[in-house]
Amino acid sequence: MEPAPATLDVLAFGHAIVDVLAACDDGFIAAHGLVKGTMVLVDADQSAAIYASMGPGIEMSGGSAANTAAGVASLGGAAAFVGKVADDELGRIFAHDLRAAGVAYTTPPTAADRQGTARSLVLVTPDAERTMNTFLGVAGELSEADVDEGLVATARITYVEGYLVGLPSAEGALRKAMAAAHAAGRQVALSLSDPLWVAHQHEALLGLLPDVDLLLANEGEAVELTGAAGLDAAVEELTRSCPVVAVTRGAAGVLVADGKETTAVPAVPVEAVVDTTGAGDLFAAGFLRGLTAGLPLPDCARLGGLAAAEVISHVGARPQTSLQQLAARAGLLP
């Protein structure tokens, strides 16, 4: 079926989260039994305990897929986001920041209760690596009722963050959104989000893969999900399920594969890496925007690399300059 003209480039589903970023040393990570570079879910008490021992914070709207949506908008794409906030101060901050970034966001807030809007305590070590402790609050309540199939049908790509996969309530929402996208002749993209999360939600993620058209992962996640001996084998295996696979390797660049051809694209050099929070999210933004703009896969990966390079050059997980202008200067977008 030939889809009707799309009015959205990317419709992103994810946790609506406000990040609380603070600098810390490696000793703090060790003392709290955290694994550097990963995300763990914590409950309200654990969140409060870590917060109490953290240094002064900076609050910025985050959430993996929401960051990606903000990146798509900064690249001139039409983006929308679906995710749950509470009717509280952090929820209003999240909604404001996303809309101010040019992303359509209409999920109604849930009544403010004991849970509140999700927050992630993001600990940034001197090596610019981030370690995240996320209290989901009402974000974990995303459900089928939040999926508007008509809205899904208007988006070229329905994008899902892996952090949603394996959560009982969200699982139904994802299935419904993915089915609606395919029924409308659209594509579904999935990001694997985090190697620890992949380890925990292994079966749930593998179960989704046959319905995923575009898979985004980093090297650790790809190897973890497939159990392959190395990256090349992992990419080969993933392309058997997913028509397009992009795997990021930090400063080593990106591998992009479509089952016929695998291309290595170098990373965009960064003068000083300040904070890697959002690197994967912004790679996804560039990659998806490239696809919706009709770019060849290697140029999609280049656009992803350019967006990631901007976001790791400053504190925070969303672009602080027009990515569209950067992309135009690099000759990747008009």
Q: Give yes or no: 281 in active site.
A: yes
Report H helices in the chain.
26-31, 44-53, 64-74, 89-100, 149-153, 168-183, 195-200, 202-208, 219-226, 231-241, 279-292, 297-311, 323-329
Residue 113 near a copy of itself by CB under 8 A? no
- The shares of helix, strand and coil residues in the chain, as percent rounded to the nearest 5, are 45, 20, 35
Question: How many CB atoms are located within 10 Å of the residue 149 CB?
Answer: 13
Residue 49 near a copy of itself by CB under 8 A? no
Enumerate residues 6+ apart whose C-beta is below 8 A from 96. Answer: none
Q: Angle CA(243)–CA(307)–CA(76) in degrees, nearest 5?
A: 85
Q: How many residues bind a copy of itself (CB under 8 A)?
A: 27
Residue 194 near a copy of itself by CB under 8 A? no
Residue 147 near a copy of itself by CB under 8 A? no
Q: Looking at 4, 58, 183, 252, which residue binds a copy of itself (CB under 8 A)?
A: 58
Enumerate residues 6+ apart whose C-beta is below 8 A from 103. Answer: 66, 69, 70, 72, 73, 79, 80, 81
Residue 101 near a copy of itself by CB under 8 A? yes
Residue 59 near a copy of itself by CB under 8 A? yes
Q: How far is the CB of 103 from a copy of itself (least distance, A)?
A: 10
Residue 57 near a copy of itself by CB under 8 A? yes
Residue 120 near a copy of itself by CB under 8 A? no
For residue 293, the 8-state DSSP code is T
- Catalytic one among 146, 194, 281, 299? 281
Residue with smaller CB distance to a copy of itself, 21 or 188: 21
Residue 61 near a copy of itself by CB under 8 A? yes
* Residues designated as active site: 281
Interface residues with a copy of itself (CB under 8 A) are 20, 22-23, 51-52, 54-61, 70, 88-90, 93, 96-98, 100-101, 116, 316, 318, 320
